[in-house]
Amino acid sequence: MIDLRSDTVTRPTDAMRKAMASAEVGDDVFGEDPTVNRLEATVADLLGKEDGLYVPSGVMANQIGIALHTRPGDEVIVDRSSHIFNYETGGPSAISGIQLHPIDSPEGLLSPDLVEQAVRPAFDVFPRSRLLSIENTANKAGGRVYSVEQIEEIASLARAHDMALHLDGARLWNAAVALGVPEATLAGPFDTAWVALSKGLGAPVGSVLVGPSELMAEARRLRKRLGGGMRQAGIIAAGGLYAVQHHRGHLADDHARAQSLADAIASLPTFTLDVSTVETNIIIFETVKQSAENVLAELKENDIQMTAFGPNTIRATTHRDVDDAAIRRVIAVLRRLYS
């Protein structure tokens, strides 16, 4: 099976498993797991922040980020297509008692104008706009990337309105590769940011939330409250550390494979896709005449999996467990079925 449903399906390699098996460990709730500490310091350094916190999932990183910056009744501005608004079980209202203010942006990327329109005036009847959260890359926008200039513009607008800034950087590694800039440059304007180890990087578990030491001390408390305090977590953290050190450099291959797959999809009459929207490892395309469900069933009969993002919308995600030969096979099958 060639699995293009998500980059979360990546499995640890033998070398990563060896690193995990031999990891030095301790009780991380006491702050005594040297591997976790090394992972947190490594990622904090790469993102240019004081401290890091290893968390079991990206969802927990987002929920801690929101809880850190808000009080009940506050409002958090996000894109309508964001993970926080769509896929986190209503966590922000259940956990932090805030309300989300989802913005409809034409391409799934926020702009300063749209944020400006969403910020609440300072008047008793309104909730307080306290936090702006951005995804880079933006998943439902097709892995699109915010440039350094776009981020800085949006960030200075948020600052002017006294709002905190949180970065959902599940795929910040991909954004950095696509733009050819360090992760720290992209994380710079944000108070808190996190990156996933368990997506394109190929580690089995976890994300790292980063920010200033004072906020991260509070984040550590919140992680405990959510049940995310782990003991000899160095075993899994070692997989993350290995991925950061050895897999980060290979993400450009995933992007090149997404480009060649996108070119093939765009050339077929059954699909519509603007290849210029494919900037990283995610391809979102439309089916013409056939339903997405139909296409996915036909592909599955040919040992290929992608995922539906709407009745006529399909997402394909490249990752390190799908090599050039696999991409060539996917292209051959698509041409045979849909030319």
Ligand X SMILES: *Cc1c(COP(=O)(O)O)cnc(C)c1O
Binding site for ligand X (CB under 6 A): 57-59, 62, 83, 135, 139, 168, 170, 196, 198, 207
Q: How many angstroms from the chain centroid is the CA of residue 237?
A: 18
Omega within 30 of 0 (cis) for the link into 185: no
* Token pair recorded at residue 260: 């060649």
CB of 126 to ligand X, least distance (A): 28
Cis peptide preceding 137, ω within 30 of 0: yes
Closest to 233 in 3D by CA, of 101, 80, 90, 38: 38
Q: Which residue is nearest to ligand X (CB)?
A: 58
* Max CA separation in the chain (angstroms): 62
- Find where tokens 């304007």 sit: 189
Q: Closest distance between ligand X and the C-beta of residue 82, in Å?
A: 7
C-alpha neighbours within 13 Å on the C-beta side of residue 329: 14
Alpha helices in the chain (DSSP H): 14-21, 34-46, 58-69, 83-86, 91-96, 112-118, 148-160, 172-179, 183-187, 213-225, 234-246, 251-266, 292-301, 324-338
Of the pair 35, 198, the CB lying nearest ligand X is at: 198
Name which of 83 and 130 has its Cβ closer to ligand X: 83
Would you say 209 or 327 has its CB closer to ligand X? Answer: 209
Look up tokens 């050339």; give the residue. Answer: 267
Structure tokens, 237 = 């953290």
Q: Which is nearer to ligand X, 200 or 338 (CB)?
A: 200
Cβ closest to ligand X, residue 139 vs residue 287: 139
Least separation in angstroms between CB 140 and ligand X: 8
Whichever of 133 and 259 has its CB closer to ligand X, that residue is 133
- When the beta carbons of 62 and 129 are compared against ligand X, the nearer one is 62
Least distance in Å: CB of 110 to ligand X?
A: 14
**Shortest distance in whole angstroms from residue 67 CB to ligand X:** 16
In whole angstroms, the minimum distance from the beta carbon of 62 to ligand X comes to 6
Q: How far is the CB of 335 from ligand X (least distance, A)?
A: 30
Position 212: which residue type? P
CA dihedral 224→189→139→318, nearest 10 degrees, is -100
Q: Which two tokens stand for residue 114?
A: 């749209």
